[in-house]
């Protein structure tokens, strides 16, 4: 059974709290990275791959990466 928040029995203060939790926080708004930021991130990733190829650092496996999430 699907129900909207207005159909459920919540007080107005509870409803307000739920809406606050659901709506994105202004601080967490997504901002497109600039071209300079993208270039810097790509250069950093290339440096990291080159270090791994040279055996100077060890990269995480896909499982290790996913376990962090």
Residue by residue, what is the 3-state secondary structure of 18-47?
Answer: HHHHHCCCHHHCCCCCCHHHHHHHHHHHHH
- The residues near 48 (Cβ < 8 Å, ≥ 6 apart) are 57, 59
Pull the structure tokens for residue 2.
């699907």
Query: Rounded distance, CA 50 to CA 2, Å?
Result: 52
pLDDT of residue 55: 93
In tens digits, what is the pLDDT along the chain, a chain of 69 residues? 455 655 667 677 777 777 777 776 666 667 788 999 999 999 999 999 999 999 999 888 888 888 877
- Domain positions in the chain are 33-69
**Could you tell me the pTM of the whole model?**
0.49
pLDDT of residue 21: 76
């Amino acid at each position: 059974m699907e129900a909207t928040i207005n159909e459920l029995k919540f007080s107005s203060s509870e409803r307000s709290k739920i809406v606050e939790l659901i709506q994105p926080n202004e601080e967490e708004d997504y901002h497109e990275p600039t071209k300079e930021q993208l270039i810097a991130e790509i250069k950093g990733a290339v440096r990291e791959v080159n270090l791994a190829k040279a055996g100077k650092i060890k990269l995480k496996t896909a499982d290790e990466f996913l376990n962090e999430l």
